[in-house]
Amino acid sequence: MLRIGCHLSASKGYTAMAKQAYDIGANVFQFFTRNPRGGAAKAIDENDIRSFYEFTGEHGITDYLAHAPYTLNSCAADEKILTFARETMQDDLRRMEYIPGNCYNFHPGSHVKQGTETGIEKIAATLNMVLTPDMSTTVLLETMAGKGSEVGGKFEELREIIDRVELSDKLGVCLDTCHIYDAGYDIVSNLDGVIAEFDRVIGLDRLKAVHLNDSKNPIGSHKDRHETIGNGFIGLDAIERIINHPALRDKPFYLETPNDIPGYAREIALLKELYRD
């Protein structure tokens, strides 16, 4: 069965998200751990968590991918910004233990003028601070478009981060189709080649989630502008091959397309139709 869902708002709590996921035909979903621009997180309501598990258990909703605020920069040059990123991640990871055994995805960071090597070192240092032996969460590095000075636009950069992390068994990767296409990986005409490259450099055992997005821009544009499914440069044929690819088809897919809720429901229905059981 296709594991498919989308990004949902966490503002009304976990149970409300699970119900919304079910209403639109999703069996997985993604949410921000707090305001995407940072700021304080809402207190966890244990009653909400209980009814959340009751609902998801009854309705077959299986994966809840948390996304860190995208403004965190875990390789910032400024000490204050760096400390803020690290403390926010630590707090998020403590809260993740209310929904144990799930994944927490983050954008590795932007090195700004420090250079990629320094960026990689600092991101690894951040992970060495926030990962703990007893946590049940897997932290995912997201593949990036390589916009500006973003780290993670090349598989090799993610590999270098992983290699510097002590508790690397707590690490995985989230593959964003718009980002890797914008980064220059040709998933339209050479999907097998890109997947083989991912396996060679990172290892497919690290792949825990896929962000399924079309792109408003051509390959290699380094833009990171998501498009609705089938309406961008990746296109519906390539997306059909992606969700059915033997190395990907069992992974959870999360839409982050520019949509309202009915739009997501339509995309989920379309993707279920294209999936070969």
Within 10 A of 235 (CB to CB), how many other CB atoms are there? 15
- Taking CB within 5 to 8 Å according to partner kind, which of Fe ion, Zn ion, none is near residue 211? Fe ion
d(C-alpha 38, C-alpha 85), whole Å: 9
For residue 211, the minimal CB distance to Zn ion (Å) is 7
Instruction: In whole angstroms, give the CA distance from residue 7 to residue 264.
Output: 9
- Specify whether 59 is catalytic: no
Minimum gap (Å) between residue 174 Cβ and Fe ion: 7
- Regarding 150 and contact with Fe ion (CB under 5 A), the answer is no
Give the nearer residue to Fe ion in terms of CB position, either 152 or 230.
152
* DSSP conformation class of 188: T
Is 9 or 132 the residue whose CB approaches Fe ion more closely?
9
| Whether 37 is catalytic | yes
DSSP 204: G
Which residue has the CB atom at the shortest distance from Zn ion? 224
Q: Kindly name the residue from 7, 86, 95, 179 that is annotated as catalytic.
A: 179
Which does residue 224 touch among Zn ion, Fe ion, none (CB within 5 to 8 A, set by kind)? Zn ion
Count of CB atoms situated within 10 Å of the CB of 164: 15
Is 111 catalytic? The answer is no
Among 150, 160, 182, 224, binds Zn ion (CB under 5 A): 224
Residue list 135-154, contact with Zn ion (CB under 5 A): none
256 is catalytic: yes
The yes or no reply on residue 63 touching Fe ion (CB under 5 A) is no
Residues near Fe ion (CB under 5 A), total? 3
Cβ at position 206, least distance to Zn ion in Å: 20
Contacts of 31 (CB under 8 A, 6+ apart): 7, 8, 9, 10, 17, 64, 65, 66, 67
Length of the chain: 277
> Nearest distance from residue 52's CB to Zn ion, in Å?
27
Q: What is the CA radius of gyration of the chain?
A: 18
Nearer to Zn ion, 55 or 181 (CB): 181
Asked if 211 is part of the footprint of Fe ion (rule: CB under 5 A), the reply reads yes
Give the DSSP letter of residue 16. Answer: H
Confirm if 213 and 243 have CB atoms less than 8 A apart. no
Residues 168-187 that bind Fe ion (CB under 5 A): 176
Listed residue (130, 120, 208) closest to 162, CA to CA: 120
How far CA 248 is from CA of 94, 134, 205, in Å, comes to 30, 29, 11
β partners of residue 65:
30
**Residues annotated as catalytic (active site), given as ranges:** 37, 67, 70, 107, 142, 176, 179, 211, 224, 226, 256
Binding site for Fe ion (CB under 5 A): 142, 176, 211
